[in-house]
Structure 1
């Protein structure tokens, strides 16, 4: 088994680990809503990246779900109305 020929000095040991320190992370602001976020990433609040909408946010999904629900209810109402008219025509 290999064994070191000489003791590693404190200087050499500490130089080896001198680059293992915590770096401050860069923080950019969203160009659309000024929300702080990491650089080169899409904003989680508004879904914009470089001035373009690239992802759907939670609010977008909620609004879309509400619109689909209203459309579904309107469709059901129209079907019920059509059935009532058909029953009246058959009498």
Structure 2
């Protein structure tokens, strides 16, 4: 869990990510960050449930996530690179 909190602290330290909400529930937490992209905003949900961690990308006004990444199986650099590409286009 400490590694995941380092991830939250990293995103909080970046000027283009803004922490919007923290939702606590039994066995986990959901941190919601917002960043601007060309066509609006994208929300980055960091979901920590028990010993698992997921990153979800939610474009503005989507009812379901555009993409979900299991941070235990995929490097964090993949979803963050996608967000950076969306920010630049």
Q: Structure 2 length as normaliser, TM-score? A: 0.22
Greater gyration radius: 1
Which has the larger helix fraction? 1
TM-score by length of 1: 0.22
